[in-house]
Amino acid sequence: MSAHVKRAYRYRFCPTDAQAAELSRTFGCVRKVYNLALAARTQAWVTRQERVNYHQTSAMLTAWKKTEELAYLNEVSSVPLQQTLRHLQMAFTHFFGKRARYPRFKSRKKSRRSAEYTTSAFRFRDGALTLAKMTEPLAVVWSRPLPEGMAPSTVTVSQDAAGRWFVSLLCEDPSVQPLPATGQAVGVDVDVGLDHLLTLSTGEKITNPRHERRDRAALAKAQRNLARKARGEGANRRKARLKVAKIHARIADRRRDTLHKLTTRLVRENQTIVIEDLTVRNMVKNRKLARAISDAAWALFRGLLEYKAAWYGREVIAVDRFFPSSKLCSHCGTLQEKMPLSVRTWTCDCATTHDRDVNAAKNLLAAGLAVSACGAGVRPQRRTPGGQSATKHEPPRREP
């Protein structure tokens, strides 16, 4: 790990009318340049089998600014426009590396409204942040201090669907250092039935807050009100849409706060954390559980857990999704033939009574430690109900 970790600090701010108008123009220009460059790169590949790189799209941007049709691109800072070309280059790099799908065009209504500024396009002095093309600093609500003596290397301004404005400052944080080593290891099982958010191999069950259910009635009412509004850009429809977006934002904020606290606790207390390599996109195809699975945000939990583990010198092990953690007795290794989701407790042939989720978490922990000790791809040895032992290798892992 590098000496200093780069960490983003996110704050709310309240722009003036002039600043909001300038940023909205910038968002629009960023989206336009991204789409033009994506179209040019796609056309070059389809017609000539030619790969266009960042430097070529940068030259295209210079030419676009000289045309009468796109002359308005000169009205905003050039840095966010260059940065969006770099983002497109990174998207193609991930695509050709088979880590992501082909880049998609940005939508005016659905895509994230954001712009990234590098050091040449902003000034940060004495706690005041001023962006290029602006005369006044942003009214940032400094909810927590930046690392002492550190200045941001990039600034990203964004606006969410609820109309809230955010600024994210990327800084080196010297306070992020590996935590003292601990011998603790824990297995984490996600409850597909969703009675609990998580179950640990220690027997602890984390209550599922069900954030979406708390606001379900208010959300349904707001969505019905939105559905009654005439389609278009009318003020009444815009107000109704904003009300729906604010409820969604409140739910997402509570969910993110809960998962941040939970992942921080797991990383601080344990040296090794074993999870299951679930495919959420397949799980949500179950129409009866899709809403609850989405509300639990397993993918977000895993993402937070992995980057915090990397920061603080911990290890996260993902056990293959086909590992039968629920059907395997953690005491004797007997593998049950069937284990319906409705079965929450069961008794093995060895007379051991198991809680389904605690047993699964224990098996995940054993499998993860075996992988760590023996190498990836090996499942721990287990017995069939007839008593015969069997060792099975995992199917090839897929990139998440």
**How many structural domains does the chain have?**
2
Instruction: Please report whether residue 231 resides in a domain.
Output: no
Shared domain check, 277 and 149 = no
Residues 26 and 142 in one domain: yes
pLDDT digits (tens, 9 = 90+) for 261-309: 999 999 999 999 998 887 777 777 777 777 877 888 888 999 999 999 9
- Assess if residue 98 is contained within a domain: yes
57 shares a domain with 200 = no
User: Do 146 and 38 belong to one domain?
Assistant: yes
Q: Domain check: are 274 and 341 in the same one? A: yes
Pairing of β 353-355 and β 122-125: unpaired
**Choice among 189, 191, 212, 320 that is catalytic:** 189
Based on the domain organization, do 381 and 316 belong to the same domain? yes
Distance CA 309, CA 315 (A): 6
User: Catalytic annotation on 173?
Assistant: no
Lookup: tokens for 263: 């992942």
Catalytic residue among 191, 212, 276, 295: 276
- In this structure, are 287 and 164 located in the same domain? no
Cβ-based neighbour number of residue 116 at 10 Å: 20
The pLDDT value given to residue 388: 41
Q: Where does 293-333 show beta strands of DSSP type E? A: 315-319
CA distance 259 to 140: 25
226 SS3 class:
helix
How many other C-beta atoms can be found within 10 angstroms of the C-beta atom of residue 147? Answer: 16
Cα distances from 15 to residues 146, 164, 166, in angstroms, run: 21, 10, 10
Phi first, then psi: what are they for 338, rounded to 5°? -135, 150
- 349 in active site: no
Given this model, what pLDDT does residue 192 score? Answer: 57
Residue 300 belongs to what domain range?
185-206+268-390
pLDDT at 400: 32
Question: Which residue shows structure tokens 């340049």?
Answer: 33
Provide the CA 118 distance to its chain's centre, in angstroms.
23
Q: Give a yes or no: residue 249 inside a domain.
A: no
DSSP 60: H
The Cα 5–Cα 176 span in angstroms is 6
CA distance 337 to 385: 8
For residues 281 and 190, membership in a common domain is answered with yes
Determine the pLDDT at residue 375.
56
Alpha helix positions (H), 5-53: 17-48
d(CA 162, CA 248): 8
Q: Which is catalytic among the residues 116, 212, 295, 357?
A: 357
Distance CA 219, CA 211 (A): 12
Residue count of the chain, please give it.
400
Residues in the chain with pLDDT values less than 50: 1-2, 377-400
Strands (E), the chain: 5-12, 113-118, 122-125, 128-131, 154-159, 165-173, 185-190, 196-200, 205-207, 272-276, 315-319, 345-347, 353-355, 382-383, 389-390
CA-to-CA dists, residue 174 to 3, 148, 395, angstroms: 7, 9, 40
Q: Is residue 344 part of a domain?
A: yes
| Residue 282 belongs to some domain of the structure | yes
**Is 21 a domain residue?**
yes
Rg value, the chain, Cα: 25
Looking at the fold, whether 50 and 109 belong to one and the same domain comes out as: yes
Same domain, 79 and 195: no
Non-local (6+) Cβ contacts of 344 within 8 A are 193, 355, 356, 357
Are residues 194 and 158 part of one domain?
A: no
Single out the residue of 41, 61, 71, 67 nearest to residue 53, CA to CA: 41
Domain closes at, from 114, 148, 173: 173
Largest CA distance in the chain: 81
In a domain, 29, yes or no: yes
Q: Domain for residue 150, yes or no?
A: yes
Residue 350 near residue 329, CB atoms below 8 Å: yes
Burial class (CB in 10 A: 0-12, 13-18, 19+), 55: exposed
- Burial pattern 372-394, b for ≥16 Cβ within 10 A else e, equals eeeeeeebbebbeeeeeeeeeeb
pLDDT in tens, 322-381: 888 888 888 887 787 787 777 788 788 787 888 888 888 888 888 888 876 665 544 433
Closest by CA to 366, choosing from 350, 384, 382, is 382
160 in catalytic set: no
- Please state, in angstroms and rounded to a whole number, the distance separating the CA atoms of residues 31 and 83: 11
For residue 346, the cross-strand partners are 354
Q: Evaluate whether 78 touches 116 at the Cβ level (below 8 Å).
A: no
Same domain, 283 and 166: no
Cα–Cα distance, 152 to 127 (Å, whole number): 11
